[in-house]
A and B are shown apart, each in its own frame.
Chain A
């Protein structure tokens, strides 16, 4: 199973259609864009892994503050270096597509926002999240007081069992009531 030189065969295409939320056109476009990232001789191999640096040259990911987290979350490599195969890339696009369910999106959003990979969003994760959103340089960060006030507000809204962290169920609960999430959590090639 894998990709032949420049085309996907039909069974593989319909299998991908069944296993992801992407349409046929989107899968073919993804295949084209992914092949452009590979060098000429890599294209002949099946299941080549593309390193994170090359994936991040895609314009859809280049300006995204969460680009490294996205690669880490969807990567199935053993070395945890964020490299993606074509199937990982399809999983990525499927989770970010228009027709993905809210549950899938919130699940992956949780994993992307969980910077230390411990299964919950605690104060450190939330602080890194806000800093990603506002910018990395010193003059674009919030002050410590503002950050504390903001994190308190977030925990007040989302932490139901009052343990100081947001776990997956609480996150999914708060996302289900957030009207902007579905339209903003979208990447289309």
Chain B
């Protein structure tokens, strides 16, 4: 017999129903939804027949017909057909039905409907075109199929950074470099910065004279000195003050400063926008579990995996993750049971280990400082080619070595600190992030101390004897860091990962088995590229072509990592979820951006800009160009700008923002309370309903109702004879199910 989608048959195949329970409002509304959708004739007949059999059924129906029907037709008008969960044939029928209904509407409504449909189709086409323009679609699809969504998020993050760097470079190019290049062709008159009288504006040329040996070119290329120093690459070249075109004067100094502010704000806005999608969902959860079990089970399988091997690995990693999480729950219980003595001991151990970690970090930072100072001093004297190069790259080498050793140290130490597994991972990661990003800060700080360190009083505000153009020197350091970072990544891939794979594959000794195949550790890889991006953000002010170099660098890193992943690596044992990884990546990137803003702000506002080179020769600090320009504006605009930057405006803006924030927090708290109350109410209502239905069934059994289908009722003793109405967990003999809406029907209420 046909399976009725509304009534579920019991094991013997008989449809059981209860005439009294058929009148329940929830059941009636369900029947309505079933009836008014374009179901097949057979079903329509049978359901009508059923309704006809219950005597008071018709009455029960009519009171509910009209409002529900109206609601239903309103709903279906707004909702596009493809959002209904039905098979294609039914959707087609719905569409023809809607077209028929549309004929009855007024012209205005018809036009509105068709225009809405047209706009929707246009939007779909534009989205399709945009997504076909995305870089590396095929490669990412392949990686997704082989490794799942966790590793995929790393590669899409890399793609995001390539595009971001490209846009930053375009901003710098259009506003700073392009006017200079185009000025001779557009009949522009360039005014250069006048030489200030005095010793500060002496800029000895560093170009090599005479016969230049070939390896000196290589040194220059790798260190940014020599022939590269006086090119578009570095700040010092942009000695232009203003460019006078026929109608307009282009203030290059102002453009340089504003483009710096522009690219930092653009990066901030874009990152926040990208992370807003993930944040919303994370913040709405009101559980203290960061990863819920439901998320792991219901969204645990990546349906995009096409590789059999990857599927097997995914299964084992899911098993490992579930086991670890279940164990973590047990550990939490154990932690709660700790005695006082245990707690003291553990806190003492943690204190000692944290002091040790701080000591190690201090040691690393001090060695970076010493290396930077030594490198700066050693650059004055030339020994020979190789040693010179090593002295130039000494800070980078020290930073890289420190960043290699400290994660290993941290992961060993964390085992003794006795935290829960999830917290261990997060804490180690935080320590590594701190280490990476602070090492850049220490490098810059040591550079700054060198620059402002004069024997006597600093005449120009900086040490003009050693650093006639200090911004270019800082730019060169950033350039060296970028190059060295790239070389390190390539070298590690070629000289460590490939041999490791060969060793593990062909050699059967114990060492190979213990070392094992390379795991693609997402956190470490992400920290690497965030480190590179932070350097790029800092360095763009001093070296305007650095974003272009970074774009090319990340472009090559994508292919290198992809090849390394496919050939050498196996997926990590503990899976990295896509959602939490987006949260982590963008969070670390924001920290990097905040860190990058600091040195740029200090350089722009605090340190005197060099008087021998660059666009800001006529000003004391780079920031001064803004107030000077503002004072040349018409007085109306000046007053407005002064008002906006006055204290009164700032304080009132701050107060208004605080009020808005408090209001929103209070609202969220109130909603949470209401949600909890409603949950309790729902559970209570469910229990009431089950109780009443149980009593009703008992009462019906004692005095059976005469109705054609009720003959089957006395035999309903089997535990699992289902009918629509209520569900019991398995305590009662009438095992029936509460299905709010059976899955075949449209779910939209």
Residues of A within 8 A of B (CB): 15, 17-21, 23-25, 59-60, 62-66, 74, 76, 87-88, 90-91, 94-96, 99, 101, 103-104, 107-111, 113-114, 118-120, 126, 129-130, 132-135, 140, 142, 146, 149-150, 153-154, 157-158, 160-165, 167-169, 171-172, 174-175, 177-181, 183-188
* Chain B CB within 10 A, most for which of A64, A111, A119, A169: A119
B653 → chain A closest CB, angstroms: 33
Q: Are A163 and B287 in contact (CB under 8 A)?
A: no
Bin chain B's interface residue count.
35 or more
Known: A134-B319, A165-B727, A183-B149. A19 touches B740 (CB 8 A): no
Contact in complex: B577, A19 (CB < 8 Å): no
Docked pose: A34 CA to B474 CA in angstroms: 60
Q: B212 within 8 Å of A by Cβ?
A: no
Q: Does B95 contact A (CB under 8 A)?
A: yes
Interfacial residues of chain B within 75-125, with CB under 8 A of chain A in the complex: 81-83, 85, 87-89, 91-92, 95, 117, 121, 124
Kindly state the separation between the CA atoms of A64 and B577 in the bound complex, as whole angstroms: 19
Contact B285 A153 (CB under 8 A): no
* Other-chain contact of A174, B294, B578, B738, B748 (Cβ < 8 Å): B294
Which chain A residue lies CB-closest to B94?
A: A19
Contacts of A165 in B (CB 8 A): 727, 729, 737-738
Q: Tell me the complex Cα distance, A25–B121, Å.
A: 15
Q: Which residues of A contact B748 (CB under 8 A)?
A: 103
> Do B743 and A150 touch (CB < 8 A)?
no
CB-based contact B124/A23 at 8 Å? yes
Q: Does B511 contact A (CB under 8 A)?
A: no
**Cβ-defined contact, A180 with B578, below 8 A:** yes
Q: CB distance A142 to B743 under 8 Å?
A: no
Instruction: Determine whether the beta carbon of B304 is less than 8 Å from that of A188.
Output: yes
User: Which of the 9-residue segments B17-25, B307-315, B378-386, B666-674 touches chain A?
Assistant: B307-315
Q: Are B304 and A111 in contact (CB under 8 A)?
A: no
Q: Is B45 an interface residue (CB 8 A)?
A: no
Bound-complex Cα distance A185 to B318 (A): 16
Q: Which chain B residues border A94 with CB–CB below 8 Å? A: 82
Question: Which parts of B1-50 form the interface with A (CB within 8 Å)?
Answer: 8
Given contacts A64-B305, A187-B304, contact A178 B316 (CB under 8 A): no
Q: How far is the CB of B208 from chain A (nearest CB, A)?
A: 54
Inter-subunit contact A161/B278 (CB<8 Å): no
Residues of A within 8 A of B747 (CB): 103, 107, 168, 172
Contact A184 B300 (CB under 8 A): yes
Known: A64-B311, A76-B89, A186-B304. A118 touches B737 (CB 8 A): yes
Q: How far is the CA of A153 from the CA of B132 in the complex (A)?
A: 42
A59 to B737 alpha-carbon distance, docked (Å): 37
Contacts between the two chains (Cβ within 8 Å), count: 217
Q: Chain B: which residue is nearest A153 at the CB level?
A: B293
Q: Is the interface of B mostly helix, strand, loop or mixed?
A: helix
Q: Find chain A residues with CB under 8 A from B300 CB.
A: 133, 180, 184
Chain B residues positioned under 8 Å from A88 (CB to CB)? 87-88
Closest to B287 in A: A157
B722 contacts partner chain A, Cβ-Cβ < 8 Å: yes
In the assembled complex, the Cα of A113 lies from the Cα of B285 at a distance in Å of: 23
Give chain B nearest CB distance to A166 CB in angstroms. 9
Q: How far does the Cβ of A79 sit from chain B's closest Cβ, in whole Å? A: 12
**What 17 additional pairs, Cβ within 8 angstroms, besides A91-B88, A163-B727, A179-B278?**
A19-B92, A63-B307, A87-B88, A88-B88, A103-B747, A120-B727, A133-B300, A142-B326, A150-B293, A154-B293, A162-B686, A167-B739, A177-B281, A179-B282, A179-B295, A181-B298, A188-B141
Q: Does B191 contact A (CB under 8 A)?
A: no
Give residues in B with beta carbon < 8 Å to A: 8, 81-83, 85, 87-89, 91-92, 95, 117, 121, 124, 127-128, 132, 141, 149, 278, 281-282, 284-285, 287, 292-295, 297-308, 310-312, 315-316, 318-319, 322-323, 326, 329, 577-580, 679, 682-683, 685-687, 690, 722, 727-730, 737-743, 747-748
**Are A91 and B87 neighbours in the complex by a CB distance under 8 Å?**
yes
- Tell me, in angstroms, the Cα distance from A90 to B91 when the chains sit together: 12
Q: Are A18 and B315 in contact (CB under 8 A)?
A: no
Asked whether, in the complex, the Cβ of A21 is within 8 Å of the Cβ of B82, the reply is yes
Give the one of A109, A132, A162 with max B CB within 10 A: A162
Q: Which residues of A contact B683 (CB under 8 A)?
A: 160-162
Within 8 Å CB of A20, what residues of B? 82, 88
Closest residue of B by beta carbon distance from A169? B740
Q: How far is the CB of A139 from chain B (nearest CB, A)?
A: 10
Take A65-B301, A135-B316, A178-B299 as given contacts and tell me if A87 and B87 are in contact as well, using a CB distance cutoff of 8 Å. Answer: yes
CA distance A129 to B319 in the complex (A): 13
Please, which residues of chain A bring their CB within 8 A of the CB of B679? 160
Using A120-B727, A150-B322, A184-B149 as known contacts, say yes or no to A110 and B743 having CB atoms under 8 A apart: yes
| Residues in A neighbouring B92, C-beta threshold 8 A | 15, 19
A126→B298 CA distance, assembly (Å): 10
Indicate whether A179 sits within 8 Å of B124 (C-beta atoms), given known contacts A63-B307, A162-B687: no
Asked whether, in the complex, the Cβ of B83 is within 8 Å of the Cβ of A103, the reply is: yes
The smallest C-beta distance from A180 to any residue of chain B, in angstroms, reads 4
Contact B85 A167 (CB under 8 A): no
Query: Complex formed: what's the CA distance from A133 to B303 in Å?
Result: 11
- Are the C-beta atoms of A118 and B722 separated by less than 8 Å? yes
> Contact partner of A184 among B303, B307, B580, CB < 8 A?
B303
Closest to B679 in A: A160
Q: When the two chains form their complex, are residues B738 and A134 in contact, meaning their CB atoms are under 8 A apart?
A: no
User: Across the interface, which residues of A come within 8 angstroms of B297, CB to CB?
Assistant: 126, 129-130, 133, 150, 154
Contacts known (A150-B293, A167-B739, A174-B294); A140 close to B149, Cβ less than 8 A: no
A19 & B311 in contact (Cβ 8 Å cutoff): no
**A180 touching B301 by the CB < 8 A rule?**
no
**Set of chain A residues within 8 Å of B580, measured between Cβ atoms:** 179
Output the residue of A19, A96, A142 with the most chain B CB within 10 A: A19
